[in-house]
Structure 1
Amino acid sequence: MSENTRTHQLIGRISALVLFLLAVAYGIGGSMIEYAFSSDPLGPRFVPVMLAILLGLFTLIYLKFPGTVEGFPTGNALVRVLAVPVTLIVSVALMEPLGFAISIFLLTTVVGWIFGASPKLSLVGGVVHAAIWWFIFSFLLEVYLPTGAIFG
């Protein structure tokens, strides 16, 4: 077995362990959901706990049989890989002060730009995406969305 193959298997196993820890955390969080017993036979805990169990099982299989994986990204690829979760975290942090629509607009625009869209196309995509999700949540599903502290 070559050193390159061992390195790739190690990367696969580390990824599997990270995903397994995520599955455990997700399962614990899902099992803590409180609800009225009469609301639904399965309750709101069922889906997150079931997803956590499935993710945990699949990651254990992947841990045992990691197969081949891509090498760890470097340079520009690493910046792009790290920029997406950072953009997501910033977008979530800005949701309360700026509101849902602006936060989703910024998230979609930046992610589109990260994946190679032109700035103009990223802006158009961000506006359309934010408008569609605002319409779906506010009017079709009648879910409260934060409008942002700066807008009162």
Structure 2
Amino acid sequence: MSDNTRTHLLIGRISAIVLFILAVAYGIGGSQIEYAFASDPLGPRVMPVALAVLLGILVLIYLRFPGSAEDFPTGSSLVRILAIPLTLIVSVALFEPLGFVASIFLLTAVTGWLFGATIKLSVIGAVVHAAVWWFIFSFLLEVYLPTGAVFG
């Protein structure tokens, strides 16, 4: 077995372990959902727990038979891969102080830029994206969206 094949198997198994940890955490989080029993016989716990169990089973199969995997990303690819979840975390953290529109704008603009769009196109796309979702939630679905502490 070549070193390259061993590396790919190791990458596949590390990915499987990380996904298994996420499946367990998702299952635990789903099982903690509280609800009124009279509302639904199954309740809202069933779907997240079932998905966690399914993911866990599939991950265990993948752990046993990892198949081939891509090389571990390096350079700018690694930076982009790490920047996407970081951008999501920052956007969620700013949701309360800045509100829905500003946080979705930030998430969309940075994601567009990370995927190669120019800053101008990223900003235009983010403005359109935020406006469309604000219109859908506010007017069509009549869902309250927070404006944020900064904006009132």
- State the TM-score, normalizing by the size of structure 2: 0.95
State how far apart, in whole Å, the 2-side matches of 1:99 and 1:106 are: 11
Q: Which residue of structure 1 aligns with residue 100 of structure 2?
A: 100
Instruction: Say whether 1:79 aligns with 2:79.
Output: yes
Q: Check 1:127–1:89 CA distance in 2 against 1; reply closer, same or farther (3 A cut).
A: same
Q: What's the CA shift for 1:78?
A: 0.8
Q: Which residue of structure 1 aligns with residue 43 of structure 2?
A: 43
CA RMSD in angstroms, aligned pairs only: 1.1
Q: What's the CA shift for 1:141?
A: 3.0
| Number of positions where the alignment pairs a residue of Structure 1 with one of Structure 2 | 152
Cα deviation digits, residues 85-134 of structure 1 (max 9, x gap) = 11111101111110011000000010011001121211111111111222
- Structure 2's unaligned 5+ residue stretches are none
State how far apart, in whole Å, the 1-side matches of 2:128 and 2:41 are: 38
Alignment of 1:1-152 (within 5 A): 1-152=1-152
State how far apart, in whole Å, the 2-side matches of 1:85 and 1:44 are: 26
Q: Tell me which amino acid in the other structure corresponds to 1:53.
A: V
Q: What's the CA shift for 1:82?
A: 0.7
State how far apart, in whole Å, the 1-side matches of 2:4 and 2:140 are: 52
Q: What's the CA shift for 1:137?
A: 2.4
Q: Tell me which amino acid in the other structure corresponds to 1:65.
A: F
State how far apart, in whole Å, the 2-side matches of 1:137 and 1:50 are: 29
Q: Tell me which amino acid in the other structure corresponds to 1:117.
A: A
Q: What's the CA shift for 1:38?
A: 1.6
- State the TM-score, normalizing by the size of structure 1: 0.95
State how far apart, in whole Å, the 2-side matches of 1:65 and 1:54 are: 17
State how far apart, in whole Å, the 2-side matches of 1:43 and 1:21 are: 24
- Structure 1's unaligned 5+ residue stretches are none
State how far apart, in whole Å, the 2-side matches of 1:18 and 1:27 are: 14
Which runs of 4 or more aligned residues in structure 1 lie more than 4 Å from their structure 2 counterparts after TM superposition? none
Q: What's the CA shift for 1:42?
A: 1.9
